[in-house]
Structure 1
């Protein structure tokens, strides 16, 4: 994986924290009373919010940052969960964009669909992402898994109306806050860990392959030399016949000294 790709992907996920800055600004400019426990985040993007445009723009930017980081960091993910996490994160990214494009007091149906995609997709995506990064960092994987479980449980409570403990807004925030927090943590951790070890494994496999090819080439060269030596031996001229003396007897060089002619 290219180090620059890893760096920009991690930065994109880190910048998802912009959501908290914009939300704080929008809440401070909200006319009348605004309670984080009782009022939903979407209320900050409604027409009666002084910072509605800023809040809705933040939703759209959030979706772009999530999707950008997901696409850039996908090679850094491992295992089969790597194929699931980008899909769920992509769904969450589309969902938060819909929330920003269709405010709650506008097209409420599209807004609701976007909210469900973001909340439910985000929680499940973190669980899948945890399994994807755990081979590189068990601590990171465990952290993401816990945040994913919290977000998924809070989403179920929010969608089913079980909000007595944290309130409507508090339950929604428990479901929605975990994704940018987890992505920022994951982005920083992956940036710190650097290029995945799988790339080093690839280089190692290439080196081993080159070594095997070199061994095969040396073996072939030895076989070729052996064959040439055998062919040369076969083509060698037959030795001349043993010398014959004038009396017609052979001078046998292999005979004992007594049989040789003086």
Structure 2
């Protein structure tokens, strides 16, 4: 498979990841009953818990997710789509320390999401906590680092989007772990932290797949002449 074809497939996987993750959050939450799922108070992990009962000593709440298998499967699928996207677009995004460090940390975000789906919080609390550290502790910082890639690379061309989402993700992570949720609640703040990277992957994926503008900005991704170098 040529590098241009690989990059296009990787971009498609990135574009698919965020809708899969968002749809699972919405659909699985909608089937909750008495009490219903609340995005401001419930965590994403609550959707994947395999048992019913009072959960979490910090913010005790009743958790019962009828479609927990669907949520956990969607998290694993999202992780696989993101991982495949990183592998297939790795060279197309350019070279340099900022790019490869950011890519590596964001790749670990995807690994963390896969672990979260494989090891639900109420059944494997320690492994699920490790998954959370990979997602919240590394992924959003990776976004910030990737934001400093040189402008002649695919990440550098989207610097402000990358930095903006990275800052939102880090802010959301900080407030979530501090159990603070101004306006949108602690659950809402977790979603700010968790959705930053899938949204970034969607944006970059669409940009890589676009027509003439992408061809000028990302010659390596589309198999044209020229090279892209990193910081």
Measured against the shorter chain, the TM-score band is 0.7 to 0.9
1:77: how far off?
1.9
Q: Give 2:24's match in structure 1, choosing from 3, 22, 25.
A: 22
Preserved contact between residue 12 and residue 68 of structure 1 (Cα < 8 Å):
yes
Which residue in 1 is equivalent to 2:134?
Answer: 117
Higher relative contact order, chain-length normalized (CA < 8 Å, sep 6+): 2
TM-score by length of 2: 0.80
1:136 shift after superposition: 4.2
Within the candidate set 52, 61, 71, 2:87 is matched to 71
Aligned equivalent of 2:152, options 104, 110, 135: 135
Cα deviation, residue 97, structure 1: 0.9
Equivalent position of 1:147 in the other structure: 165
Judging by fraction of residues, say which structure has more helix. 1
RMSD between aligned alpha carbons?
Answer: 2.0
Is residue 93 of structure 1 aligned with residue 100 of structure 2?
A: no
For residue 168 of structure 1, report the CA deviation from its aligned partner: 1.6
Identify if the C-alpha distance between structure 1 residues 131 and 117 changes in structure 2 by more than 3 Å, giving closer, same or farther.
same
When structure 1 is superposed on structure 2, of 87-96 and 192-201 the one drifting more is 192-201
3-state SS, counterpart of residue 6 of structure 2: helix
- State the distance in 2 between where 1:173 and 1:21 align: 13
Task: Render the CA deviation track for 1:168-187: whole Å, top value 9, x for unaligned.
Answer: 20110111111111110011
Any conservation in 2 of the 1:10–1:188 contact (CA below 8 Å)?
A: yes
Structure 2 distance, partners of 1:43, 1:73, is 33
Deviations 1:133-170 (A, max 9, x none): 73246662111110011101110111122334431201
Aligned residues: 202
Query: How many angstroms apart in 1 are the aligned matches of 2:181 and 2:112?
Result: 22
Deviations 1:88-115 (A, max 9, x none): 0221011101110111111111111101
* Rounded Cα–Cα distance in structure 1 between residues aligned with 2:203 and 2:11: 9
Bigger radius of gyration? 1
Distance in 2 between the 1:105 and 1:98 partners? 13
**Structure 1 stretch 47-56 or stretch 116-125: which is displaced more?**
116-125
State the TM-score, normalizing by the size of structure 1: 0.71
Question: Does structure 1 residue 59 correspond to structure 2 residue 75?
Answer: yes
